[in-house]
């Protein structure tokens, strides 16, 4: 048996092994988001959608600091023959602004790039598709009565296309 030097010992792992393991605590806003996604899945299933994936993430490129950027699609589902990429926005209140306002241009581009990757991976480039948004508002005083709203066709790829000064037409 040949030994490779220097031998690195993980003394911390050995030292900590006798300590009790604490359950990982989840931040309240992550709990709210997870609950909203679960409510959205139930709502979409009742509306006739067939859920095929949840929390699908894919690397979509690198940023200016050369760090890999990933995009996540909350729900991928079929509404009849149409493939739907669904973003879920959950809030405790819509007092200041509606939740769908946070699906900004940057988020739309990320989802569109991830959706393109999803369609390419599964050979669905010619399939009909659209982008939907589900908003879930769960007020703290009426937690058992969330307000869920579905926005079909919230945006299209055409609106995301970057324009050049020499484009024939500007919309």
Which pLDDT score is estimated for 9? 43
Read off the pLDDT of residues 14-36 as tens digits, 9 standing for 90 and up: 444 455 555 567 777 678 889 99
What is the average per-residue pLDDT within 137-146? 82
pTM of the entire structure?
0.77
Question: Phi and psi (nearest 5°) for 105?
Answer: -60, -40
CA 135 to chain centre: 13
**Share above pLDDT 90 across residues of the chain, in percent, rounded to a whole number:** 56
CATH number for the domain running over 24-157: 3.40.1350.10
The H-assigned helical ranges of the chain are 11-16, 28-46, 105-121, 157-160
Read off the pLDDT of residues 95-140 as tens digits, 9 standing for 90 and up: 888 889 989 998 999 999 999 999 999 999 999 999 999 999 998 8
Bridge pairing between strands 82-91 and 129-137: parallel
Total number of residues shown for the chain: 171
4-8, 12-16, 18-22, 72-76: least confident range: 4-8
Which pLDDT score is estimated for 97? 85
Which pLDDT score is estimated for 12? 47
pLDDT at residue 80 tops 60 = yes
Q: How many CB atoms lie within 10 A of CB 66?
A: 6
Q: Which residue has the tokens 């669905």?
A: 124
Q: How many CB atoms lie within 10 A of CB 157?
A: 14
Question: Phi and psi (nearest 5°) for 91?
Answer: -140, 155
């Amino acid at each position: 048996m040949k030994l490779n030097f220097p031998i690195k010992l993980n003394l911390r792992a050995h030292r900590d092994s006798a300590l009790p393991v604490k359950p990982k605590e989840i931040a309240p806003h992550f709990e709210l988001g997870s609950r909203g996604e679960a409510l959205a899945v139930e709502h979409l299933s009742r509306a006739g959608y067939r859920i095929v994936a949840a929390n699908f993430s894919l690397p979509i490129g690198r940023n200016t600091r050369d760090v890999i950027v990933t995009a996540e699609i909350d729900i991928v589902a079929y509404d009849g023959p149409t493939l739907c990429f669904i973003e879920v926005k959950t809030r405790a209140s819509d007092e200041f602004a509606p939740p769908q306002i946070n699906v900004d241009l940057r988020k739309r581009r990320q989802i569109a790039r991830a959706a393109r990757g999803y369609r390419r991976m599964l050979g669905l480039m010619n399939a009909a598709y659209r982008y939907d948004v589900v908003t879930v508002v769960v007020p703290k005083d009426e937690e058992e009565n969330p307000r869920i709203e579905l926005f079909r066709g919230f945006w299209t790829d055409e609106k995301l296309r970057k324009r050049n000064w020499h484009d024939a037409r500007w919309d």
